[in-house]
């Protein structure tokens, strides 16, 4: 066992679930050189301990709006502010950070009007908040669901089966009440069987499988595996706030999105036009990651940076001060 409590097989399971969260244990066992019962038992322990978990998200509608929000708090108030902010269903994630900002939060709203209401009215009334600075997301270059712990070889990743597609002739339309019901079931257990989903929704297992396949194929439901940062292979996360020429963004966006250390990257409107979250194996490595970013974005300048001291909320899931998923989550808007 590593000091983190996760050994090599645990990390390989996590990487596999980051690739395909619902991969059958029977299909994964020969890839990892194990057996299905062992993999199921390992995952149950990992999830129960809060090292990792599955997250089910509603797909983003075309009219939805998102922003990165920085909060400056009164001394000693950052944790209290984070606790109050975490109750907001439009706030997906909250990091407590070093540097000029105390909190970095991600906001997803159904439309621009609701985003404006949150930034202009709601957030300023939170306990302990001194200032709020918003960065409106124009283009997302890389999502956290694309980042992995990198415990598998490329050959192993290539053998992981993709999610099954909808059956030919299956219904293309899924009733919104079914979508919401399926999301609620999968929020509790992202690997729930078709039989379990069917029982909860009052439909047949075959139809449950078709509906889920259709929703995943069209990105109306997103299922992802998330890992507690302090216990992953990349425990240090830094936010970089960058000013880059627009031409550089256009020419280098693909390269930035392919950097394996980049957890999240977005083009925004604000005093910076690119905001990136980058993972590192050590604090010493943070400097190298910063240099990598500068090389990837010619002419860009990293204006500011902050290190994540503690994650308070991640995609609705509340995280303990020690970095474990608590099992408590706030329903997302």
| CATH code for position 303 | 3.30.70.3460
Q: For residue 12, give its domain range.
A: 8-49+152-227
The Cβ-side half-sphere exposure at 196, using a 13 Å CA radius, reads 10
Residues 6+ apart with CB under 8 A from 76: none
Question: pTM higher than 0.85, yes or no?
Answer: yes
Regarding whether 72 and 113 lie in a shared domain, the answer is: yes
Regarding whether 255 and 139 lie in a shared domain, the answer is: yes
Q: How far apart are CA 191 and CA 159, in angstroms?
A: 19
Are 272 and 266 in contact, with CB atoms under 8 Å apart?
no
Residue 82 covered by a domain: yes
Which residue among 227, 245, 275 closes a domain?
Answer: 227
| Three-class SS state of 44 | helix
Number of domains in the chain: 2
| Three-class SS state of 284 | helix
Regarding whether 107 and 76 lie in a shared domain, the answer is: yes
Per-residue pLDDT in tens (0 to 9) along the chain, 333 residues:
344 578 999 999 999 999 999 999 999 999 999 999 999 999 999 999 999 999 998 876 556 899 999 999 999 999 999 999 999 999 999 999 999 999 999 999 999 999 999 999 999 999 999 999 999 999 999 988 889 999 999 999 999 999 988 888 888 899 999 999 999 999 999 999 999 999 999 999 999 999 999 999 998 999 999 999 888 888 999 999 999 999 999 999 999 989 999 999 999 998 899 999 999 999 999 999 999 999 999 999 999 999 999 999 999 999 999 999 997 888 787
Q: How far apart are CA 5 and CA 16, in angstroms?
A: 18
Which residue among 201, 227, 253 closes a domain?
Answer: 227
End-to-end CA gap in the chain:
39
């Amino acid at each position: 066992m590593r000091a983190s409590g996760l050994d090599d097989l645990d990390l390989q399971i996590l990487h596999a679930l980051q690739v395909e969260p619902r991969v059958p244990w029977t299909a994964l066992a020969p890839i990892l050189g194990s057996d299905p019962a062992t993999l199921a038992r390992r995952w149950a322990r990992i999830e129960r301990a809060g090292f990792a978990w599955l997250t089910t998200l509603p797909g983003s509608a075309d009219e939805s709006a998102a922003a990165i929000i920085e909060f400056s708090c009164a001394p000693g108030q950052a944790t209290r502010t984070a606790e109050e902010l975490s109750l907001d269903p439009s706030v997906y994630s909250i990091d407590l950070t070093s540097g000029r900002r105390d909190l970095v939060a991600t906001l997803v709203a159904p439309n621009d009007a609701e985003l404006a209401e949150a930034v202009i009215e709601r957030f300023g009334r939170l306990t302990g908040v001194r200032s709020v600075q918003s960065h409106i997301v124009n283009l997302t270059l890389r999502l956290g669901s694309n980042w992995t712990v990198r415990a598998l070889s490329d050959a192993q990743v290539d053998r992981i089966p993709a999610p099954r597609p909808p059956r030919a002739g299956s219904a293309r339309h899924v009733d919104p009440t079914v979508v919401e019901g399926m999301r609620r079931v999968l929020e509790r257990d992202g690997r729930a069987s078709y039989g379990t989903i069917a029982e909860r929704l009052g439909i047949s297992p075959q139809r449950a499988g078709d509906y889920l396949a259709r929703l995943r194929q069209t990105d109306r439901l997103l299922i992802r595996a998330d890992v507690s940062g302090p216990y992953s292979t990349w425990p240090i996360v830094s936010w970089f706030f960058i000013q880059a020429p627009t031409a550089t963004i256009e020419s280098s966006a693909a390269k930035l999105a392919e950097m394996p250390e980049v957890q999240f990257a977005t083009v925004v409107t604000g005093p910076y036009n690119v905001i990136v979250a980058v993972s590192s194996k050590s604090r010493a490595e943070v400097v190298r990651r910063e240099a990598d970013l500068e090389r990837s974005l010619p002419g860009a300048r990293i204006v500011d940076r902050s290190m994540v001291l503690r994650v308070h909320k991640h995609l609705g899931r509340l995280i303990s001060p020690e970095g474990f998923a608590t099992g408590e989550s706030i329903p997302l808007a």
